[in-house]
Amino acid sequence: MPPGREAIVRNRPRVDLPPPTTGRRIVQAAIGATVLLAITTAVAAVDPRRLGGPALAVALVMFFAGTGALIWSYLIAIGRSRESEIGLAGLYGLSGTAPTEVRVRLIGSAVAQVVIAGIGIAIRPFSNLAFGFLAVMWGIGLTGLWGARHGVFPPRAVAGTAGRAGR
């Protein structure tokens, strides 16, 4: 750990995480879309020319909606940053800001989307299944949205104290 960092970490205020049921609709949307991506990818892998349309549509909807969620989460975080110390690891990785159950489900959903897209491409390269990688924006966007809306961040340090605010 860099010199002085230990004092900052030791003096960081403790925060209580919200219950795992907080923001459950965001978690459900992430898991539901991941299941839909898996189903449409599996169906399209059978015959991508005739059955690839739904997989393409699902991937594109997840991409554009996920991009919207990512932008929305960023705007919420900007507003909250006036009073809270918000970091990217806490916002988009839910590191120390969300219950373990929520973090595992949301990040697991995004990882599953990558795996599903990779398997689809491995089975049927050069098909509509390549667009499956775009769907990962859904997982990233919803993870950020959960973090921005429900994540618990320590209060912003007062100017003149140790840390970045004092520099």
Q: What's the CA gap between 87 and 109, in Å, rounded?
A: 21
Q: Which of 144, 108, 107, 151 is nearest to 18 (CA)?
A: 151
Residue 132 lies in a domain: yes
Residue 1 lies in a domain: no
pTM of the model: 0.84
Residue 111 lies in a domain: yes
- Quote the pLDDT of residue 85: 93
Q: Residue holding tokens 């209580």? A: 16
Domain extent at residue 53:
29-151
Structure tokens at 101: 């159950």
Instruction: List 155's β-bridge partners, or say none.
Output: 84
Query: Using one digit for the tens of pLDDT, what is the confidence trace for 60-118?
Result: 999 999 999 999 999 999 999 999 999 999 999 999 999 999 999 999 999 999 999 99
Residue 112 lies in a domain: yes
Residue 92 lies in a domain: yes
Residue 51 lies in a domain: yes
Residue 135 lies in a domain: yes
Using pLDDT thresholds of 50, 70 and 90, give the confidence band for residue 4.
low
Residue 157 lies in a domain: no
- Quote the pLDDT of residue 167: 46
Query: Using one digit for the tens of pLDDT, what is the confidence trace for 22-60?
Result: 999 999 999 999 999 999 999 999 999 999 999 999 999
Q: How many domains does the chain have?
A: 1
